[in-house]
Amino acid sequence: MTITRNKNGQDQKFGTAVLVKGDILDEINLTSDLDWIKKEIDHFRGNLLAYRVKTKDHQKINIVSVYSPAWCIDSERIQDIDVSGVKLDNNPDIWFTEILWKSLQYEKIDPNDSWVVAGDLNCSLTFDIKWGPRGNDQVLKRIEDLGFYECLRGIHKKVVPTFRTSRGHIEDQIDHLFISSHLRNKLIDCSVGSHEVFDQSLSDHLPVIAEIRI
């Protein structure tokens, strides 16, 4: 668990995890050729975990677990830095989703390797519909352009809500699960967990569940 301050100066606890039925072999050191991106990855250590794992049936998969905070990168840390080519076209700020994208881009994903990238991106296409273009579509397209397939929206051909707001609205998909092209043809189904998760106050997020025949 990492503790940091959000843009309003409030302490926030956040983090992510990787759980495997099998063995975690070693850590993948996601990085970038841009020094300021490297510093942001280090600053948000705990938000971006990447490991090579081996399943019980001896399949090797690269797993990336990500949590993108609901606040943007502190502008003071990137003051006087050229962020062109990283900043979204329709958003004035830099978000952790851009840090994720640049780190995956630098990794140069081999299409023959098995990759799973999943987590709470705090990004939904519905945000652009409700509040006007803010780059949520570009966030997802950038990751897809690296050779990834978004399982939930891809299977259902529409946004599938995964989040319940404090007002009880369930309309936004801010949780995403991407797989590399090597796993695309092995994908059987993708769905979300039961709304009992909401009803029993277990979480304000539904799990995204992908069935892949490896």
* Short-list 110, 93, 98, 124, CA closest to 34: 98
Q: Domain containing 56: what range?
A: 2-212
The predicted pLDDT at position 20 comes to 85
CATH number of the domain residue 48 falls in:
3.60.10.10
Quote the CA–CA distance of 39 and 137 in Å, as a whole number: 26
What pTM did the predictor assign?
Answer: 0.91
The predicted pLDDT at position 1 comes to 35
Task: Output the CA torsion sign for 49, 50, 54, 59.
Answer: positive
**Total number of domains constituting the chain:** 1
- What tens-digit pLDDT sequence spans the chain (214 residues)? 333 444 444 445 556 888 888 899 999 999 999 999 999 999 999 999 999 999 998 999 999 999 999 999 999 999 999 999 999 999 999 999 999 999 999 999 998 999 999 999 999 999 999 999 999 999 999 999 999 999 999 999 999 999 999 999 999 999 999 999 999 999 999 999 999 999 999 999 999 999 999 7
